[in-house]
A and B are shown apart, each in its own frame.
Chain A
Amino acid sequence: MQPEGVTRIVVDDSRAGPVCGPAGARPGASCGPGMDLPPELPEHRPSGGERRARFITISDREIRPLYGPEDVAGLDAEEDLGLPGEYPYTRGVYPTMYRGRLWTMRQFAGFGTAEQSNARYKYLLNHGQTGLSVAFDFPTLLGLDSDNPRSEGEVGRLGVAVDTLADMELLFDGIPLDKVSTSMTINAPAAVVWAMYIAVAEKQGVPSEALTGTIQNDILKEYTAQKTFIFPPTPSMRLITDTFAFGAERVPQWNTISISGYHIREAGSTAVQELAFTLADGFEYVRAGKAAGLDVDAFAPRLSFFFNSHSDFFEEIAKYRAARRIWARGMKERYGAKDPRSWMLRFHTQTAGVSLTAQQPENNIARTAYQALAAVLGGTQSLHTNSMDEAMALPGEKAVKIALRTQQVLAEETGVTNTIDPLAGSYFVEHLTDQMEKEALAYFDRIEALGGVVPAIEKGFFQREIADAAYRYQRQVQSGELSVVGVNRFVEKDRARIELMKVSPEVEGRQLARLAEVKAKRDAGAVRDVLTEVRATARGRGNLMPVFLRAVKAYASLGEIVDVLREEFGTYREPAIF
């Protein structure tokens, strides 16, 4: 019953035979310290011969051996590149870039209860981190309280559990919200969680006008990649434009959305798909804001972006440069933005979680460092570097410190911050930037032909494109066409053991006890009244943010508020495409 060519059955890697070189190439050979040399040493290639039939990026882009002046013949330095801080911002959004201010070092963190996560934030701030980034658990991301039966076993597991304002008060206890900027990865229920943050700041005596930070609030990529959606697209877009309008008026320094390619890439897309789908989403939010009656320059300066930094170095750098140029041109020429801040694509970067390997986990430190360098050479505004243990668990303290130190070494020692956009003018990088821009524009045409972003989601277009790319990549790793050190190259028999962080099962009990206590103490009548108000506003057309603020201050829970919205808006069920 076995397919041809498969003779070995291996359940887990630790029992795989020792292999040196491409997977399966020399079964029985061993390598590594204290072992025999592999039977064949690599041959020296005669001149003209090449090691591979095709040289490709991890996105299956074929790369030529040499690029020259003819590859940038169409490039107009003034029109296509400009100066840093000037349209079309290919070279960076600020005139001084890292000479003026380094990127924000912002490690995504959150687990267990609010107290545990608060301790981790203080640990990171004490080690030189410059901004916070909150990871919520799955129940919170899906608008479920910890006491919902569906939350069982998931409370505090992959992020921090937040049910009510009481949790947010503990989460930011002792952290001055007028001095620290906070990014929150929350999407479908983002408006409610943002209301909690604003309420906590108010209790600290910090007015909303002084707050800086970001809510991810990017629902479109949830349908295509991250998959923590709740409501259908139309009411979801309304929640988002409500935050745009409220932010413009009351929280003017806040990024009301972080339009994210990160998850699209993690789900398996190519670099160009990440670029194209993210920017297509971005322009869709601009259209939605305008359709809601907002002036484009009132909200567009607060749109921010979030990209992945994967392992193919130059392709990533070109992606960031192309992204800035496409956004600037689109906003100015197509969407009529007049404020230069509306043209600027500012972005956060996270190194590629999906590139981390469980095999030889210390290698992940090197991978992450190269990816971080690509993000910085691409002009990122803030950066998260993954920890070496994240293929297996949430990061432990030591691992996260090494990841932060990796950024600090990059910023303080390598000198790459001394000059702006140092790769500009490189035949290869400029050619690649231009190619990726063209390919992204071609995707825009295809999306438009399907009727726009939302119809394309409903037809499964993005999901299928991403699944195709993910499968092709896996097959290329399988065949050895793409190398992953420790997985299909330089495999070691023994697994390196590193200490992994575990979230204690008692967390759930503690969280349930706190929620019960909050529910017992609050004014039940006030909660009932404000939930009725949430329902009435949801049925009408008014901005939901003010009523969310009143609801969270009455200690209505996230689940209670979202349940009302579920009843009014309905829920979304995805087409299961593979």
Chain B
Amino acid sequence: MASDVGDRIPILKLGDALLVTIQVDMHDRLALALEDDLTNRIVQTSAKGVLIDISALEIVDSFIGRTLASIAQIARVLDAETVVVGMRPAVAITLVELGLSLPGVRTALNAERGMALIRTHRADELDADPDGDAA
């Protein structure tokens, strides 16, 4: 599936979470490819969490913002929790000024906190539903 490596953002599996670190400038095609790949990987690995690290992103336009929001929605449909981590202050201000406050996307300051958030969310879910398989 991962054919064109140069044109893809790598998705790493970490326990039952998927880790995406965006290190390059996002352009629209890349964002759409990420949405595709991520959807497929969530289904493949039945991941319960998606962590998207955008700490290296200096520019986020409205399209990227919307793509992040739709990734979160898609993941929720597939029973995975999305956390966007490491957003820079300037990016946060830009998104708010664009009117994109990403409702429905969880956020955390850094990858560590984001992982913790995914873990507690998962634990809460298992507590609420003890019959679900914990493996």
**A, B assembled together:** no
By a beta-carbon cutoff of 8 Å, the part of chain A in contact with chain B is none
Residues of B within 8 A of A (CB): none
